[in-house]
Structure 1
């Protein structure tokens, strides 16, 4: 949730999470899923990192075990995970294609005896992951992004490689051992300083370990992809589309620099690795992409947010279930994430966050601001204020590199928080007042007109991508989004009569 403030330094970027109430805009992993997260390998989302050549990182077989037993995913774990990603998405044709592709890949893998089950998740995020038990998961957002069968096969082959290489179990073993060593040094040997240093070092080691696993799975996945008869260059095409999607969401045209502790290698570097792996197998054009079947399978699937969980329409955010809406100032692009609505300007100098926070019965809104913001609020800046006709409180906070305006607003029994950050010492109050002042109860007529978006496959009437992109029911950069959805570069000519994906209501 704090990604909107990630560049604000260690001061303003921190805040306390609500005590118990779940953010209603999107389902999220609960605390009860913490154990499940240890054995879950998430791969296709917007992750970054660095390192091209996989290192041989393994846990020696003769080393003492700390897990006590092999981990597996129970039915309860599966149910929790599916619920945290919006439940299963019902798209029989798409699920049948994913299952058929998986069966074909397994026969070409190093473990053709392994059993796999694919679940399609009702989430707009681009993600896929695997459990050691052989359960594979892909979101509808990922399925919508892929352009042909070989691309989705590349994602599934990568996840299958994680299972056959026992990556999740190896990472869990390393994490638990690192925790054990740090605890022994700190508590048993009574050396907290060294224990803390070892814990910090282990974070880097685990991050590096995870990046190496991703690269190893990339290489193994490309080999399996080719052995199954699919185009091995499909992996590079999908990762390129993912990179472009990250850039679109960032609003800057660039995916940004990787975090040195990120668990995934930089997508651009992964593209280079899988491209080299594919070239070692053969020249472009080998294998099948089965594009026609893929487009037929994804025709009609949902795209983007479920209106019931809040939707972004240009600069406007609307949430029918909460009955609220607001408009962001000019220059901001906003996104409805799992835990909050986040926004940024193209150059990244201004950012905003909207979320729901916990408030005790009778707690004043000034106290809510203080309890949900770890940095200091400027003396004398906290004041009660009526905001869009509702009880509210506002405050100012200055970090090392950013200046923050904060508001807590009570609507009925719910308290919402609105934060705007400006880089440097400039107070963003004028834009902040316009934004907070736009918060209002949702007009029932507007709520009724909200329709879910979906993918529609249409035949190109001409070679012009601009012409077909005008059918896209998105207000934010429709041409760029059309190109990314169809794996096309800027200036590419369409093939008349061939099918392409567009987003429609």
Structure 2
């Protein structure tokens, strides 16, 4: 949770709380009901809306800042830049120029701008296990640029908006205009998914032409899928709905594996694993401690000067806007964030203003939680029971929300959680260090020997296997390097 906290909008609060720790970017997965898409017809005579100026340096700086800033890792950047150059020479536009930026973010994400700027987070770099896997990600993003996907999407989106606006305003038919706008959402989502699949296919062909192992694309997406399953705690991520802008990862794995087979049998191309591991050895892993860090069940934010500890059974993740938590079976969840409060506004009023569901009559309680004034309340939804708190720490106001599936009141665990909120000691702040990747050589074939050295809050073996692209029951190769997370 960054120092400049952004409150979660009220209309999407439940979605944020109940969507368990999802990932953003080209890897995003969503769940929901499948709906039949409706076609949007854009008149041929409609004016064109593209051709605007490309993003300048100021836009680039804003984008980089929104992902935690630029991450300085010369060896990693050199490797990624060299891979990009090799891919461009094998692409359909070898004349295109690209500039790569590493982003200081733990999320697994990569994206490209039409101008040829490529962005890769350190979280994605950490997940990849060899050079062919990072090359697969870069080839996918390069394909988006060479296929002019961003321009095509902008064209369809803006022209569709124009049609619905003309129908609503000029023809004075707001009902039809609203229907067209709603239809366009489905068409744009389908269009984006088709673009992703097209970029996957072109990316694998580029990967093979550049001499990299084309099966690296499938391996990376498999690791991504397993990472999502670890975060959700359900064992497998859900399938996307018709409004998702990205296809399901399982669908993408099938497509890229089929494309790789067209290039040849497994074993073709290079994965350059040893060089890749050497380039990322020492890479920061997980949260930037200055923007809040998770250590076991404890969340610490030195810049805000606060910390708390979640109850047993919860795994928590620090995101840009909030701290989210869930139990392995997903029956209990929690959210911690900062909200704006008007001067002089009571904490009970803050709760009511920032919660878009009904609060149980008579459940609001004004109290002290340690040294902090607080208001707590109970809210019962159709499928979930919520305990809510608003607490004032200095000039800041925070919310702490715990949800339990069904009618069970999570109050006992909730009270222990909010009572743990406290100021961070200077000693704890000074002792807080970023986690890092360390490449170590295996001395045995047993993965548990290295998993025990992982500085992670839970499921150390599962996280070790995913981080190294290994299946369960896999045997290590003595003398070969593997990634572990250390303090």
Fold shared per TM-score above 0.5: yes
Determine which of 170, 195, 205 is the counterpart of 2:187. Answer: 205
Determine which of 343, 350, 353 is the counterpart of 1:361. Answer: 343
Tell me the residue number matched to 1:422: 404
The question of whether the paired residues in 2 share the 8 Å contact of 1:58 and 1:170 is answered with no
The question of 1:111 aligning with 2:93 is answered yes
The question of whether the paired residues in 1 share the 8 Å contact of 2:164 and 2:180 is answered with yes
The question of 1:460 aligning with 2:460 is answered no
> What is the Cα-based RMSD across aligned positions, in Å?
2.3
The question of 1:73 aligning with 2:55 is answered yes
Tell me the residue number matched to 2:457: 475
Q: Provide the C-alpha distance between the structure 2 equivalents of 1:94 and 1:316, rounded to a whole number of angstroms.
A: 31
Determine which of 281, 286, 298 is the counterpart of 1:304. Answer: 286
Tell me the residue number matched to 2:14: 13
- Where do 1:404-423 residues align within 5 Å? 404-423=386-405
The question of whether the paired residues in 1 share the 8 Å contact of 2:40 and 2:180 is answered with no
Q: Deviations over 1:111-154 (max 9, x none)?
A: 00001000000111100000000000000000010000000000
SS in structure 1 opposite 2:107? coil
- State the TM-score, normalizing by the size of structure 1: 0.89
The question of whether the paired residues in 1 share the 8 Å contact of 2:384 and 2:407 is answered with yes
Measured after TM superposition, the shift of residue 70 of structure 1 is 3.5
The question of 1:224 aligning with 2:206 is answered yes
Tell me the residue number matched to 1:169: 151
- Where do 1:321-400 residues align within 5 Å? 321-400=303-382
- State the TM-score, normalizing by the size of structure 2: 0.92
Cα distance change of structure 1 residues 65 and 497 upon mapping to structure 2, 3 Å threshold: farther
Q: Deviations over 1:417-454 (max 9, x none)?
A: 01111122222211111111111111222222211111
Tell me the residue number matched to 1:30: none
Count the aligned residue pairs: 468
Determine which of 281, 296, 301 is the counterpart of 1:314. Answer: 296
Cα distance change of structure 1 residues 257 and 375 upon mapping to structure 2, 3 Å threshold: same
Measured after TM superposition, the shift of residue 12 of structure 1 is 7.0
SS in structure 2 opposite 1:410? strand
Tell me the residue number matched to 1:245: 227
SS in structure 2 opposite 1:13? helix
Tell me the residue number matched to 2:116: 134
The question of whether the paired residues in 2 share the 8 Å contact of 1:14 and 1:375 is answered with no
Q: Provide the C-alpha distance between the structure 1 equivalents of 2:43 and 2:486, rounded to a whole number of angstroms.
A: 53
Measured after TM superposition, the shift of residue 258 of structure 1 is 2.1
SS in structure 1 opposite 2:27? coil
Measured after TM superposition, the shift of residue 62 of structure 1 is 6.7
Q: Deviations over 1:345-399 (max 9, x none)?
A: 1121111100000011211111111111122222222221111221001112222
Q: Provide the C-alpha distance between the structure 1 equivalents of 2:471 and 2:72, rounded to a whole number of angstroms.
A: 32
Q: Provide the C-alpha distance between the structure 1 equivalents of 2:136 and 2:41, rounded to a whole number of angstroms.
A: 27
Q: Provide the C-alpha distance between the structure 1 equivalents of 2:178 and 2:411, rounded to a whole number of angstroms.
A: 41
Task: Mark the runs of 5 or more structure 2 residues left unpaired by the alignment.
Answer: 2-7, 17-23, 33-38
The question of whether the paired residues in 1 share the 8 Å contact of 2:27 and 2:246 is answered with no
SS in structure 2 opposite 1:120? strand
The question of whether the paired residues in 2 share the 8 Å contact of 1:12 and 1:402 is answered with no
- Where do 1:443-454 residues align within 5 Å? 443-454=425-436
Q: Provide the C-alpha distance between the structure 2 equivalents of 1:60 and 1:198, rounded to a whole number of angstroms.
A: 10
Q: Provide the C-alpha distance between the structure 1 equivalents of 2:483 and 2:288, rounded to a whole number of angstroms.
A: 19
The question of whether the paired residues in 1 share the 8 Å contact of 2:132 and 2:214 is answered with yes
Task: Mark the runs of 5 or more structure 1 residues left unpaired by the alignment.
Answer: 16-41, 51-56
Q: Provide the C-alpha distance between the structure 2 equivalents of 1:299 and 1:436, rounded to a whole number of angstroms.
A: 38
The question of whether the paired residues in 2 share the 8 Å contact of 1:343 and 1:351 is answered with yes
Measured after TM superposition, the shift of residue 61 of structure 1 is 12
Q: Provide the C-alpha distance between the structure 1 equivalents of 2:337 and 2:196, rounded to a whole number of angstroms.
A: 33
Q: Provide the C-alpha distance between the structure 1 equivalents of 2:40 and 2:87, rounded to a whole number of angstroms.
A: 25
Q: Provide the C-alpha distance between the structure 1 equivalents of 2:12 and 2:403, rounded to a whole number of angstroms.
A: 13
